[in-house]
Chains A and B, each alone.
Chain A
C-alpha cells in the first residue's frame, strides 16, 4: 500500500480481555516499530523488528505484551488480560532499513473499560 496501515483504528475492550492490533508496513520496508502514546505523553518505545527478528524488545511493559512479524511484512501486537493502564494510542511505523526516516500509521486507539 501507499502508507502504513493499522487496524482497527479504534478498539474498546473490557478489562481482562485479549486484543490484537495489526500493522501493515510500507511494501519493502524491513524495519518495523511499535510505540505507545498515552494521553498528553510522548512516545514510549515498545518493540523493533528488523525483518522477522526483534533485536530490541526492551520496551514491552510486561509479559502480557507480545508481538510478532511474519514474512517480513505484517506485524501483530497482542495484549493479554488487558488493564485500564493499557489504554493508549498504539502507533506502528516502518522504514526501509533502519537508520532512515520512519513513516507512521494513524494508530489504533485502545480503550479498556
Chain B
C-alpha cells in the first residue's frame, strides 16, 4: 500500500529566504511522486513531478524536488521565497499497486512574511 507523510503542517519563512517542505512516502513499487500547490480560493496546480527519470526535478516558479529512494523522501525546495509562494502545498504518491490512484498528503501551509 502507498502512503505519504508531510512532516510539517505549517511553515513560516521570510521573503528572500529558502523554503523547505518535507515529504516522506511509502510504496511497495517504484512510485510516481508529485507536488501540487493550492493558492487561497484557487484550484490545484501541478508544481512538478517525478516519474523514474532524473532524481532532481525542476518545476515551475523556481521550485525543485529531489527523489531519494534510500530515504523514501521527496522534499520540495526553493532558494528564495516570494510573497506569492504563500499557499498550501500537497505531496502526492502513485504506484501500480494502487491501480494508479493518487494518494495526497495532509498538506503544508506556507506563510511568507515581509
Contact = CB atoms under 8 A, between A and B. Distances in A.
B85 interface: no
A90 interface: no
Interface in A59-113: 91, 93, 95, 97-107
Given A35-B104, A42-B105, A100 B99 contact: no
Interface size class of A (residues with CB under 8 A): 20 to 34
Interface in B69-83: none
B90 A42 contact: yes
Interface size class of B (residues with CB under 8 A): 20 to 34
B99 A98 contact: yes
Instruction: State the main secondary structure of chain A at its contact with B.
Output: strand
B20 interface: no
Instruction: State the main secondary structure of chain B at its contact with A.
Output: mixed
Given A104-B44, A107-B43, A50 B90 contact: no
Contacts of B94: 98-100
B101 A33 contact: yes
Contact of B44 (A55, A56, A91): A91
B43 A42 contact: no
Given A56-B98, A98-B101, 15 more contacts: A33-B102, A42-B90, A43-B104, A43-B107, A48-B102, A50-B99, A56-B101, A91-B43, A97-B100, A98-B94, A98-B99, A99-B100, A100-B49, A100-B100, A105-B43
A55 B106 contact: no
A45 B106 CA distance: 11
Contacts of A91: 43-44
A31 interface: yes
Interface in B15-42: 32, 34
